[in-house]
Amino acid sequence: KELNVPGEAKFKNRGVSYCTICDAPFFKGQDVALVSWGDLAREPVTILSSVANKFYWIFPSDKPIHDEEFIEQAKRVGKVVFMPNSEVVEIKGDAKVKAVVVRNKKTGEVQELPVAAVFVEVGYVTRSDFVRHLVDLNERGEIIADWEGKTKTPGVFAAGDIVAYPYKQAVISAAMGVAAALSATAYVMKIKGKPVASLVDWKAEAKK
Ligand SMILES: Cc1cc2nc3c(=O)[nH]c(=O)nc-3n(C[C@H](O)[C@H](O)[C@H](O)COP(=O)(O)OP(=O)(O)OC[C@H]3O[C@@H](n4cnc5c(N)ncnc54)[C@H](O)[C@@H]3O)c2cc1C
């Protein structure tokens, strides 16, 4: 999900990042901003607490997460500046991000914070509507599939970020794609009367 504020599109990959775990190391020792709240914020806050010099944690309500222990831990590390009741109104820079403009929704105060990066971790958009009649979706619109990529409809396989699996990484998606492709092949071959042993029975193999 994007913020849809001025400057965001211009500075994508020039300081605006949607993946803290991927891009935070590029801003090691620098001042940055994080827009995130709730459980989604756990990972980026933990990463920035280790990597950044200082980070502004921007969130729209009084508290960023309902976990006092987590908030206290972030405070103890001492790198976080809390920006409650706040929203980003603009991202500024020249060739790269130089500042984020933040408005306090309660007081109306507008601040320009000098930062080298703005990490946006406000969730994913799932585009699974076009298969909702074929598969089960969870509350986030992710497709329920097993580790072979099978969905509730025989012959319909799913793989990648769209699957209800918590880790959204390229190598995981690629591996899921391989599994789903092999499963699809096995499915078609079975229909053709030429079943392939896509799952190896190692105990049987050992006896051969
Ligand atoms: C900013 C960012 C940085 C990342 N950095 C890393 C990283 O450093 N390392 C890492 O491992 N992972 C990273 N990831 C995660 C990684 O990109 C994903 O896990 C991976 O791309 C998922 O692959 P996918 O094929 O499942 O989905 P996607 O790559 O999202 O591909 C889905 C494709 O389907 C298309 N599509 C959508 N709807 C339809 C439709 N109805 N018909 C046809 N096509 C459609 C989309 O346009 C898209 O091209 C990053 C993600 C983001 C957002």
pLDDT tens across 137-194, in order? 999 999 999 999 999 999 999 999 999 998 888 999 999 999 999 999 999 999 999 8
Q: What is the mean pLDDT of residues 44-69?
A: 97
Q: According to the model, what pLDDT value does residue 196 have? A: 81
pLDDT tens string 8-46: 999 999 999 999 999 999 999 999 999 999 999 999 999
Give me ligand 1 centre to Cα 127, in Å: 11
Query: What is the C-alpha to C-alpha distance for residues 105 and 119, in angstroms, rounded to an integer?
Result: 20
In the chain, pLDDT over 90 holds for what percent of residues? 89
Range(s) within the chain of domains with CATH label 3.50.50.60: 16-120, 129-194
Q: Which candidate, 104, 199, 192, places its Cα nearest to that of 150?
A: 199
Q: According to the model, what pLDDT value does residue 199 have? A: 63
Q: CB within 6 Å of ligand 1 — which residues?
A: 18-19, 22, 127, 130, 160-161, 168-171, 173
Q: What is the architecture of the domain spanning 129-194?
A: 3-Layer(bba) Sandwich (3.50)
Q: According to the model, what pLDDT value does residue 200 have? A: 67
Query: What is the C-alpha to C-alpha distance for residues 176 and 185, in angstroms, rounded to an integer?
Result: 14
Give me ligand 1 centre to Cα 1, in Å: 13
Task: Quote ipTM for the complex.
Answer: 0.96
Which residue owns the Cα nearest ligand 1 atom 36? 127
DSSP state of 149: -
Q: What is the CATH number of domain 16-120?
A: 3.50.50.60
Q: Are 114 and 98 within 8 A, CB to CB?
A: yes
Mean pLDDT of the chain: 95
Q: Which candidate, 148, 155, 120, places its Cα nearest to that of 134?
A: 155
pLDDT band at 198 (very low <50, low <70, confident <90, very high): low
Q: Which candidate, 11, 79, 7, 85, places its Cα nearest to that of 49?
A: 79
Give the nearest ligand 1 atom to 23 CA.
Answer: 8
